[in-house]
């Protein structure tokens, strides 16, 4: 049985160190086939595949374009594992678990009490669309963890929400394909302090938390050696 590929949407011009350490963590702990960078490819990467995309939209539109491009590419495995460039696999994983964040309504309430904007609007619009399609109380899959994706199922989800400005792609996919799963709290670390689970299997960071926070120090110390996805002399 072939291992699933990893698909990583990347925005243009982002020459990021988070990706470097994410790649190191996947090389060490996450069994996979090939790594596909969709969108931008940093100069220092090696041994990865690349699908260039046009990035003239919002970050949400660009990532939707990237996910669709991966689904429509004949050489990307089916299924594949959808990643972000700031997902770190901190412990060995034999198979990516199916994880969700609980009810979209509860996640929406959390965000509504703290912020507004396009992300929250997209959450509401995606929830409303899923209700129209027969899922009145959907689960949220908007977690910063790997997600195993079947191509046809993701394309159907994107098509069902194609007229929305901000598609919550993971949620639409998970709900419409009835993937179920286990509830966890999101693993995204947004602060510089010590309040995070150092025993967690998955971690994700904001750029400042990675560069200046304690979590970034933990990740860099855990993966000090270059991996096969880095060109020599570009550390």
Interstrand relation of 99-100 and 188-189 (parallel, antiparallel or unpaired): unpaired
The count of other CB atoms within 10 Å of the CB of residue 207 is: 14
The CA-atom distances, in angstroms, between 137 and each of 14, 19, 52, 200 are 37, 35, 37, 29
| Residue 124, Cβ density class (10 Å: 0-12 exposed, 13-18 middle, ≥19 buried) | middle
pLDDT digits (tens, 9 = 90+) for 92-112: 999 999 999 999 999 999 999
- Quick one: CATH architecture of 5-222? Alpha-Beta Complex (3.90)
Burial 6-37 (b: 16+ CB within 10 A, else e): bbbbbeeeeebbbbbbbbbbbbebbebebbbb
Q: Are 184 and 163 in contact, with CB atoms under 8 Å apart?
A: no
Residues 179-222: pLDDT tens digits? 999 999 999 999 999 999 999 999 999 999 999 999 999 999 99
Q: 234 pLDDT exceeds 70?
A: no
Q: How confident is the model over 8-14, as a mean pLDDT?
A: 87
Question: In sequence order, what are the beta bridge partners of 163?
Answer: none
Q: pLDDT tens, 108-157?
A: 999 998 777 999 999 999 999 999 999 999 999 999 999 999 999 999 99
Tokens encoding 103: 């009810």
Residue 14 has pLDDT above 70, yes or no: no
Task: Say if strands 99-100 and 202-205 run parallel, antiparallel, or are unpaired.
Answer: unpaired
Across residues 41-59, what is the average pLDDT? 95
pLDDT > 90 in the chain, percent: 92
Q: What is the pLDDT of residue 113?
A: 82
Q: Using DSSP, state whether 90 is helix, strand or coil.
A: coil
pTM: 0.95
3-state helix vs strand vs coil in the chain, percent to 5: 35, 15, 50
Question: Does residue 15 carry a pLDDT above 90?
Answer: no
Greatest alpha-carbon span in the chain = 54
The answer, yes or no, to whether residue 48 has pLDDT greater than 80, is yes
């Amino acid at each position: 049985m072939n291992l699933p590929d990893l698909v990583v949407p990347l925005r243009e011009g982002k020459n990021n160190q988070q990706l470097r350490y994410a790649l190191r963590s996947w090389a060490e702990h996450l069994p996979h086939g090939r790594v596909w960078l969709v969108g931008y490819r940093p100069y220092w990467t090696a041994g990865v595949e690349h699908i260039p995309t046009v990035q003239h939209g919002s970050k949400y539109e660009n990532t939707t374009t990237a996910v669709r491009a991966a689904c429509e590419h004949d050489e990307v495995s089916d299924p594949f594992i959808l990643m972000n460039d700031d997902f770190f696999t901190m412990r060995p994983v034999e198979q990516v678990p199916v994880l969700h964040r609980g009810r979209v309504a509860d996640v929406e309430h959390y965000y509504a009490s703290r912020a507004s904007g396009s992300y929250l609007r997209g959450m509401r619009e995606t929830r409303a669309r899923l209700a129209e399609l027969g899922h009145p109380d959907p689960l949220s899959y908007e977690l910063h963890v790997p997600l195993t994706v079947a191509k046809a199922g993701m394309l159907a989800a994107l098509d069902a929400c194609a007229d929305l400005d901000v598609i919550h792609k993971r949620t639409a996919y998970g709900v419409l394909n009835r993937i179920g799963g286990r509830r966890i709290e999101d693993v995204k670390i947004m602060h510089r302090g010590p309040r995070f689970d150092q025993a967690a299997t998955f971690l994700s960071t904001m750029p400042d938390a990675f560069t200046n926070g304690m979590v970034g120090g933990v990740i860099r110390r855990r993966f000090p050696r270059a991996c096969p996805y880095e060109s020599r002399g570009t550390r």
